[in-house]
Structure 1
Amino acid sequence: MKQLKQKPTVLSMFCGCGGLDLGFHQNGYDVVWANDINEDACLTYEQNLGTVVRGNIEDLEMPNIEDLDVLLSGFPCQSFSNAGNRKGINEKRGNLYKFTLKYIKELRPKVVVMENVRGLLSTKTESGYLLPEICESLSSLNYEVHFNLINASHYGVPQNRLRVLVVAINKDAQIGNFHFPEPIRDTELTLEKTIFDIPEDTPNQDEILRLNPQAIYLGSFVPEGGSWKDIPTEVLPDRLKRIRDNMEKYRWPNFYRRFRRDEVAGTITAAFKPENAGVWHPVENRVFTAREIARIQSFPDDFIFCGRSVKANYEMIGNAVPPKLSYVFAKSIKEILKGENLPQREPVRYFSQIKYGTTPIKVGGPEIIFDKNVQNEEHVEYEQLDLLSVIGE
């Protein structure tokens, strides 16, 4: 077993309020450099975790960190998200992943962890798909790249939250072999067990997003476990009446979803729209409080959100990586940094074995290991890509 430094070092790009970092912090890592551009998120990070470098990553000088253990990157996801604008790489934010590659190239961390929305799987570029191009760039830097679509609820988070996780291992570092950790089972994740016992004086529990009167009125018709299907047609606004009259055209939406207390919550998003997401309290005529969505995101109650508005707190919580999800991966990565090999819990898939873009990547399926010199269904080769050169040497 290798001698592990007392506190493995972490650099965190696009850290937000610190959900991803918190899981590593709880495992004894030292976050030596973190950055975000959002002032509200930075205030919260400083309150709970430590120093953060404010500013646009494009304008910052890269820190000089030797022997970096882990680089974390939750590069902005709105450009790839189904809940966002889906402009992908055609939007400026959709190109910030290139700075992650630049930092990796210069700092050569032993392990890289990237987290993003499911839409990253289907984001296209001029030559193919973005995720394989990122994997090829990492592979060209001599990283072994693992990725998969996971549900955060499989790792102890009381929320059905689908995300793409990429873990890249520096082959030159001579550390242990990585595999995605075993899901956590037999954990009670229902809303009743998650949010029904919060003391009134818990920080951020008194913060609740103000809704327009019409939204509150419509939500009052929805019983526990119901949705807009329970709202009488005659009280619906004309816009929703048109949708109800032609459900197939609008892809069978399910507005004003109110989960039952014995269900697992749906995805908490930064937008937090009471019409489009299941954010209504199971039994009270209101949406979740800021602390309740923090609980659903698996933040501990002593993690205080310091945004300058209630809306800012909702947004940063929705944007965060659930700390319990981060904790599981941080623990596994600590083992391989010691030189231990993680068990392979099921047969893996190699990228060359799937028709990327045609074969669905399903939650709970085997992890995928990227292998070089492969082709997708359109016979686009992902070899000798120029992603690294576009941001300079």
Structure 2
Amino acid sequence: MIQTYKPRLVSLFSGCGGMDLGFQSAGYDIVWANDIDQDACATYRHNIGDIIEGDVTSQAVPDLQKVDVLTSGFPCQPFSNAGSRRGTSDPRGKLYENTMEFVEKLQPKVVVIENVRGLLSTKVDDRTLIDVLEERLESLGYFVQHRLVNFSHFGVPQNRIRVLVIAVRNKEWLPGVFPEITVGKDLSLKATLKGLTKKHLNQTELMRLNPQALHYGSMIPPGGSWKSLDYEILPERWKKIRDNMAKYHYPNFFRRYAPDEISGTITAAFKPENAGVWHPVESRIMSVREIARIQTFPDQFEFKGRTVKSKYQQIGNAVPPHIAFQIAKQINSLLNNQSNAHQRILPESHELNVNRPLHKQPPEILSRFEVAIAAE
């Protein structure tokens, strides 16, 4: 049958595959992917396909022809309020330079970078890191835009604010390269977690908490936090904070979102003290599957890893597949409108394409993700 050209994707800092799942579901061939985390790579191989495991700084840029899109989600912790905030003084804060090396050698038509809002304020000498990134990309012949977006505006059921940087070779693509805002979907926790049972993959996996955390967390009402508790029952260290909230920047420990609220940001540091990880109505934190739902991973996507904690970290570090799918579709429309010269005849089943990582799951499992998105 006749199909339009399937764009070729190179993925850096791929993690467990949130970005890559979205692009793959939109019809891309993932020709090279890399991550350093052993557990994330195990999840990626189980659900998506081949991935090079190892430090990107020790990886030679692959000899690839016709790379259409390069994605990069270099570690955000050095720039994040939830992380170290050490910026480029953290060795991980300089991994963007490896992204630039890949871009320079592979010359993709489009570059997509996703990161935390700290990218806009982190300094490199006397400039912000976002300025450095854009100037580097422009020097390599790209036209660049960045936007600060809340992923909930695009159908992701959490208030996750991130910076998207998209660079293109063709200047005419720039106005239409970002996806359009999605409205009208119920993003509440009640709707997001609806229908989950213990039979769902990873649903019975919960991180173990200390008795004190369980004690105080169980007393917090839906929609509340540690501020909902009577002063007299607080531990002494919490009383000191309550006595001088301004000094401690008004922390909101043990946030429990109500069923009709949208979740806050799912983070890699899945700590009940600092993140809204409590189940909206039950006296426990949310399961691996529940936070995967909030991150828009399909229920058939199974998380692997040596510990439950590593699975929480993988999900928190991931780009929600839903937003990745929308970005991928938008770019795909531009790539396919560029020229029909790339059209080719593909076999009815193109799972045997040697340039494409093979699913270890039946292909129909993850294709349901595309069907679900299309139906919204």
TM-score normalised to structure 1 length: 0.84
> 5 Å matches for 1:240-259?
240-259=238-257
State the one-letter code of the partner of 1:20. Answer: M
CA shift for structure 1 position 221:
1.5
CA contact (8 A) 2:168 2:174 kept: no
Alignment correspondent of 2:351: none
CA distance in 2 between partners of 1:4 and 1:176 (Å)? 25
> For residue 291 of structure 1, what is the aligned residue in structure 2?
289
**Structure-to-structure mapping, 1:45-84, within 5 angstroms:** 45-84=44-83
Deviation of 1:5 after TM superposition, in Å, equals 5.4
Question: Runs (4+) of structure 1 moved beyond 4 Å?
Answer: 174-177
- SS of equivalent to 2:79: coil
Give RMSD over aligned pairs: 1.6
Give 1:169's aligned residue: 168
- Which amino acid in 2 is paired with 1:137? R
Question: Which has the higher mean CA deviation after the structures are superposed, 285-294 or 252-261?
Answer: 252-261
2:135 counterpart residue number = 136
Q: Does the Cα contact within 8 Å between 1:177 and 1:340 map onto a contact in 2? A: no
Query: Within 2, Cα distance between the matches of 1:55 and 1:252?
Result: 40
- Residue 139 to residue 282, structure 1, CA distance change in 2 (3 Å): same
What are the residue-to-residue correspondences of 1:32-111 with 2, within 5 Å? 32-111=31-110
2:330 counterpart residue number: 332
CA distance in 2, matches of 1:182, 1:55: 35
Q: Distance in 2 between the 1:18 and 1:38 partners? A: 12
Shift of 1:286: 0.4
Q: Secondary structure at the match of 1:79?
A: helix
Amino acid of the structure 1 residue aligned with 2:183: R
Report if aligned partners of 2:206, 2:308 keep a CA contact under 8 Å in 1: yes
C-alpha distance in structure 1 between counterparts of 2:5 and 2:180, whole Å? 26
- Aligned: 1:119 with 2:118: yes
Q: How many residue pairs were aligned?
A: 338
2:259 corresponding residue in structure 1 = 261
Among residues 211, 214, 220, which one is paired with 2:212 in the alignment?
Answer: 214
Contact 1:175 1:340 in 2 (8 A): no
1:207-234 deviations in whole A, cap 9, x for unaligned? 0011000001011211111111122222
2:78 maps to a residue whose letter is S
DSSP-derived class of the 1:11 partner: strand
Gaps of 5+ in 2: 340-376
1:26 aligns with 2:32: no
Q: Is the 8 A contact 1:220 1:285 kept in 2?
A: yes
Name the structure where helix makes up a greater proportion of residues: 2
- Is contact 1:204-1:289 (8 Å) kept? yes
**Partner residue in 1 for 2:353:** none
Q: Write the letter of the residue equivalent to 1:149.
A: L
Between 332-341 and 88-97, report the one with greater CA deviation: 332-341
Amino acid at match of 2:215: Y
Once the 2 structures are TM-superposed, how far is the Cα of residue 315 of structure 1 from its aligned partner? 0.3
Task: Give the TM-score taking structure 2 as reference length.
Answer: 0.87
For structure 1, the 5+ residue unaligned runs are: 342-393
Q: Identity of aligned pairs, percent?
A: 53
The amino acid of 2:19's aligned partner reads L
2:133 is paired with a residue whose SS is: helix
